[in-house]
Amino acid sequence: MTAIYQRYMVADFPQDELKPLDRILYMIKTGLCCAYGLYDNEKDGGELRGYATFIVPNGLRYGLLDYLAVLKEYRGTGIGHSFFHLVGATLSARYPALRGFFIESEAVAFAADARERRIREKRISFYVQNKCLMTTLGSRLFGVTYSVLLYDFYSGTRNAASTEDMASIDDLDAIYRAMFSEHHYKQDVELWAASDEWL
């Protein structure tokens, strides 16, 4: 994880979205976070192709996709779609009580310019193509505003209106409370049911 962080994550994610390495390692050590790597087959050296980390608090119905990326040279090849479903199936098998996971994606409405807006729209489109559902939830963590999607292991074809029956604002709030100290939760976390303009 340290090697992936230092070589790839610092380049793949904006600084304001990237947790400190020691925080990620602590969450892995305590069981709050799990990490996966996608590697090619052993015959070709077992080289990394993509990676993902998830927040999976004990006893909760839903987890949170914390980071997911495909290495730059393999983007646009379809690997991301395969990897997304592979880690979803792995999580479902490893955590039988888990119903799915939330995804935070930077809110399109808060993009700084047209280029950034296209990047954010493309990112959300990737998740929607992979059967994630846009929820009516929004969040602001440490100054970054997100739209929130949901990937449900058992109900991937439900529409956005029925998503509320599966996952609620309380489910996401419980994840944030598990992730952050009380101080950071009160100071740096906002969560709301969003209007369409936030999505």
What type of residue sits at position 195?
A: S
Interhelix angle for 79-94 vs 114-129, to 10°?
A: 50
With vertex at residue 185, the alpha carbon angle to CA 184 and CA 189, rounded to the nearest 5 degrees, is 105
What is the Cα–Cα distance from 15 to 165, expressed in whole angstroms? 35
CA distances from 170 to 48, 128, 188 (A): 36, 23, 17
pTM: 0.88
Of 130, 148, 12, 123, residue with least CA distance to 69: 12
**CA dist., res. 91 & res. 78, Å (int):** 20
For the chain of 199 residues, list the mean pLDDT of each consecutive stretch of 10: 96 90 96 94 78 96 97 93 95 95 95 94 95 95 94 66 67 96 95 64
Pairing of strands 189-193, 62-70: unpaired
Tokens of 166: 């599966």
